[in-house]
């Protein structure tokens, strides 16, 4: 696993479970930029190149999820955009704080982060906001941008220990959910 290093004071923008919805992902990224995010982590279930296009031009990391079964072409495309592909899990150092991340569909990733005493473990998958401790590891899920009662992302300042869960407004006049069959 590659370990990426960022200066102290770097603020992370966490988003997950876009499920191909580039329009809502763009709104989410804009919301995170307004909140001061410097580096983005998409925590899986990308489900399409259009979502990756939204992250192009930013310092961004991507893992893929259980709804990204054909993730290899997406990973190649993400790399062509200059995004860091850390699939299936990644690790950042922000100042002296370690941040491990994965989609969340494989419980072993969380167990490994906790046993390695990572300061943070970030994941998606459940579509539910989470902020709790396991040992010394703070476990964070920013929520989801699809099939959630309220769409959310999170701003994480690892060195300050500050997590802000931000609501993302749905796109007016647009269908934000797939029809259920």
Work out the mean pLDDT of the chain and round it to a whole number: 93
* Stretch 3-18: mean pLDDT: 96
Tens of pLDDT, residue by residue over 52-62, are 999 999 999 99
Asked whether the predicted pLDDT for residue 88 surpasses 50, the reply is yes
**pLDDT for res 2:** 67
Asked whether the predicted pLDDT for residue 63 surpasses 70, the reply is yes
* Stretch 17-22: mean pLDDT: 96
Asked whether the predicted pLDDT for residue 9 surpasses 60, the reply is yes
**pLDDT for res 3:** 80
Using a cut of 0.85, tell me whether the model's pTM lies above it. Answer: yes
* Stretch 57-72: mean pLDDT: 95
Domain boundaries, the chain: 3-167
DSSP letters spanning the chain: --EEEE-TT--EEEE---TT-HHHHHHHHHHHHHTT--EEEE-S---SHHHHHHHTTSEEEE---TT-TTHHHHHHHHHHTT-EE-TTEEEEEETTEEEEEE-SSSHHHHHHHHHTT-SEEE--SSSSEEEEEETTEEEEEE--SSSSSS-EEEEEETTTTEEEEEE-PPPTTS--SPPP-
CATH number for the segment(s) 3-167: 3.60.21.10
* Stretch 108-116: mean pLDDT: 97
Tens of pLDDT, residue by residue over 114-157, are 999 999 999 999 999 999 999 999 999 999 999 999 999 999 99
């Amino acid at each position: 696993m590659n370990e990426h290093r960022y200066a102290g004071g770097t603020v992370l923008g966490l988003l997950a479970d876009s499920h191909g919805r580039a329009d809502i992902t763009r709104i989410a990224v804009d919301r995170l930029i307004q909140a001061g995010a410097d580096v983005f982590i998409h925590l899986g279930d990308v489900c399409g190149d259009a979502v990756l296009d939204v992250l192009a031009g930013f310092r961004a990391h991507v893992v893929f999820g259980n709804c990204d079964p054909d993730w290899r072409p997406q990973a190649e495309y993400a790399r062509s955009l200059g995004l860091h592909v850390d699939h299936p899990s990644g690790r950042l150092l922000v100042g002296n704080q370690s941040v491990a991340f994965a989609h969340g569909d494989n419980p072993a990733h969380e167990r490994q982060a906790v046993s390695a005493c990572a300061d943070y473990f970030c994941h998606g998958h459940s579509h539910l906001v989470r902020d709790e401790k396991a040992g010394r590891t703070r476990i964070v899920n920013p929520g989801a941008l699809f099939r959630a009662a309220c769409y959310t992302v999170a701003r994480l300042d690892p060195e300050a220990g500050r997590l802000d869960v931000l609501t993302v407004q749905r796109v007016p006049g647009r269908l934000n959910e797939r029809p259920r069959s």
